[in-house]
Structure 1
Amino acid sequence: MTDSLALSTGLWYGTNTFVIYDRKGPLTIVMLSNYNDFFKHRLVDKTYSIVYDYFFNTTNNLQ
C-alpha cells in the first residue's frame, strides 16, 4: 500500500469495519465483516491489490 492512503478501522458488538481511502485517486474501499479475519488472512491487502489492479490497470487499457 502507498503513503497516499487513509485507513480507518472499527469494531462494535461483533461487527468489524475497515475503510481504505486513496487521497490521490477516486478510490474508496469499505469492508464489513462479522468476523475478525481482516488481518489474519491478509484480506485488506488482497482486496486492495485486486481492486487497485482492476481500477488503475484494466480500466485504463479499455479506453
Structure 2
Amino acid sequence: MVALLLQGGHNPRLRDSEGRTSLSWAARNGHLGVVELLLATSDASEASDVCDYSGRSPLSWAAGNGH
C-alpha cells in the first residue's frame, strides 16, 4: 500500500497536526518495511532527522518504543 501511495505521488514529508510524518509513524509503530520504503525515497530520507512538535525524531520514537 505504501509503495502504491509513493508511486502515486504521495508526499512523505507531509505532517499531521502534531508535526509527525509518515516516517515518524512507521518508526514509532515498528513497521520496518515501511521505514525502509520511506527512507529509499529522497523526500523522506531528507526528513529522517526532522523532529515533530514535541521534539522527537523518527529514531527517538523507534528507540523509545523498543524497535
The structure richer in helix per residue is: 2
The structure richer in strand per residue is: 1
Q: What is the TM-score with the length of structure 2 in the denominator?
A: 0.28
Greater RCO, CA 8 A, separation 6+? 2
Q: Rg bigger for which structure? A: 1
